[in-house]
């Protein structure tokens, strides 16, 4: 019985289009897929295997870690450290670069990841996910340093996320459009179900954490107020507001039906330039969104053009349907 195109078949067929491809990149993607399957199983079983709740520890961001934050981080490391495709890894949950142990061969790629985005939602059974990005390792020989990872988002070789919701999906771009795969648990394979995903240029849906309204800058306040005024306001149409507190879930909704997601610059904590991490969240999601025909900006600059300054740098994020993102950017430019 024909089961459709598996993600392994899809990746291999893409590899065949690249002259001189060695198969290293394909094998790395397959290892990431395996990690996402293992994480999906852990998330789905939840309290049945005792992985719910928080730990008495914080990550480098000063955030209380969930048990699953630590478990999923270890899953990603163990799935990807041994095969010889990576030179090093960096994670939202680790202070410093993770060097490939000396007992394993070292490869030519770097992997950055957020092992469980939206983990504050796990105890209430709301969708969470994994975000990853692949970069080429500059130079050769010596162990990569943090500076090796500080590459603009335009240098990403691939980016993707896994969504652990009503079904488990993996969405991937290698710079040639965006494709979505759904996990068929009966056969243990991701199957291509959402080919060539595109984001509508226009939308009537926005996502923002409205509890921070008093801290927003003027351009964001203006944009949101105009959306709330609906048909009686300057936009002359009604908008819906959404907020999941899981970036993976927010971006996936935008990929499926359009919308705009905003975690803008605000004055809530003047020491932080933004909420979301450039390397682990903003860059990979911006790559995906742009490949699907959307746009992504800090409000002042295209995110993929930013030169990272640190492993855990935070930035404002405004992404989604192109025309709406451009409107928010235009409001920033006016001020």
- Output the known binding site for Mg(2+): 92, 114, 116-117, 281
Q: Which of 270, 257, 169 is nearest to 205 (CA)?
A: 257
For 79, residues 6+ apart whose C-beta sits below 8 A from its C-beta are 31, 32, 34, 35, 38
- Evaluate whether 99 touches 147 at the Cβ level (below 8 Å): no
* CA–CA separation, 69 and 55 (whole Å): 9
- Per-position DSSP letters for 189-244, written without gaps between them: EEEEEE-S----S--SEEEE-GGGGGGB-HHHHHHHHHHHHGGGSTT-S--EEE--
Radius of gyration of the CA atoms of the chain, in A:
20
Helix extents (H) in the chain: 7-15, 24-45, 67-80, 146-149, 218-229, 247-257, 283-291, 322-334
Placement of tokens 């179900």 in the chain: 193
What is the rounded distance in angstroms from the CA atom of residue 175 to the CA atom of residue 199? 16
204 closest CA partner among 334, 290, 326, 323: 323
Q: Which residues are annotated as a binding site?
A: 92, 114, 116-120, 209, 275, 281
- 304 φψ region: left (φ > 0), alpha (ψ -120 to 50), beta (else): alpha
- What are the tokens at 200? 């509508």
Binding residues for substrate: 117-120, 209, 275
């Amino acid at each position: 019985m024909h089961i459709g195109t598996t993600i392994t078949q899809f990746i291999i067929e893409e590899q065949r289009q690249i002259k001189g491809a060695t198969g290293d990149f394909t094998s790395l993607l397959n290892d990431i897929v395996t990690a996402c399957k293992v994480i999906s199983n852990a998330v789905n079983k939840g309290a049945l295997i005792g992985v719910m709740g928080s730990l008495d520890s914080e990550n480098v961001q000063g955030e209380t870690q969930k048990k699953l934050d630590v478990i999923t981080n270890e899953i990603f490391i163990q799935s990807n450290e041994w095969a010889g495709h990576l030179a090093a890894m960096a994670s939202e949950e680790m202070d410093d670069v993770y060097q490939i142990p000396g007992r394993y061969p070292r490869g030519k790629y770097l992997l950055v990841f957020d092992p469980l985005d939206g983990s504050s939602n796990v105890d209430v059974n709301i969708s969470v996910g994994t975000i990853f990005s692949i970069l080429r390792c500059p130079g050769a020989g010596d162990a990569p340093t943090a500076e090796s990872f500080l590459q603009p988002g335009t240098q990403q070789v691939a980016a993707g996320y896994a969504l652990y919701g009503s079904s488990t999906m993996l969405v991937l771009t290698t710079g040639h459009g965006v494709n979505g795969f759904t996990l068929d648990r009966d056969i243990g394979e991701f199957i291509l179900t959402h080919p060539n995903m595109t984001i509508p240029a226009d939308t009537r849906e926005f996502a923002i954490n409205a509890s921070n309204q008093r801290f927003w800058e003027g351009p964001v306040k203006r944009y949101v107020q105009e959306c709330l005024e609906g048909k009686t306001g300057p936009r002359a149409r009604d908008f819906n507001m959404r907020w999941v507190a899981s970036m993976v879930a927010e971006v996936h909704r935008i990929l499926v039906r359009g919308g705009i997601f905003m975690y803008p610059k605000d004055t809530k904590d003047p020491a932080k330039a933004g909420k979301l991490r450039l390397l682990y969240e903003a860059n990979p999601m911006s790559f995906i969104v742009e490949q699907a025909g959307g746009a992504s900006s800090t409000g002042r600059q295209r995110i993929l053009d930013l030169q990272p300054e640190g492993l855990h740098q935070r930035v404002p994020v405004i992404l989604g349907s192109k025309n709406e993102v451009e409107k928010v950017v235009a409001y920033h430019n006016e001020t």
